[in-house]
Amino acid sequence: MSVRENLPSTFFAPDISLAYHGTIALLRPNNLKARRWLSEITVEGARFLASSLAIEPHHVPSVVHAATDAGFVVH
């Protein structure tokens, strides 16, 4: 068992933070590995705004599913 498994889940920030802003959803990577992963995925109409990937909200479920399959924590 790793040290991380013994600590409360609130101790660590998620790898990717998700925020809804009406007609846009922002996925903000909180580490370099997540940033690289977000820059490599293909989502129609997606663009980076500063450090966050901006996507249409209907794409969120598929991106979050792919991120969790890749081992990332999204919140």
Amino acid sitting at position 3: V
The reported pLDDT for the residue numbered 52 is: 97
In angstroms, rounded to a whole number, what is the distance separating the alpha carbons of residues 7 and 34?
A: 22
Q: What is the pLDDT of residue 12?
A: 74
Task: Give the pLDDT confidence score for residue 27 in this predicted structure.
Answer: 98
Answer yes or no: are the C-beta atoms of 18 and 26 closer than 8 Å. Answer: yes
Q: What is the pTM for the complete model shown?
A: 0.82
The CB density around residue 62, as the number of other CB atoms within 10 Å, is 12
pLDDT averaged over consecutive 10-residue blocks of the chain (75 residues)? 54 90 97 96 93 97 97 96
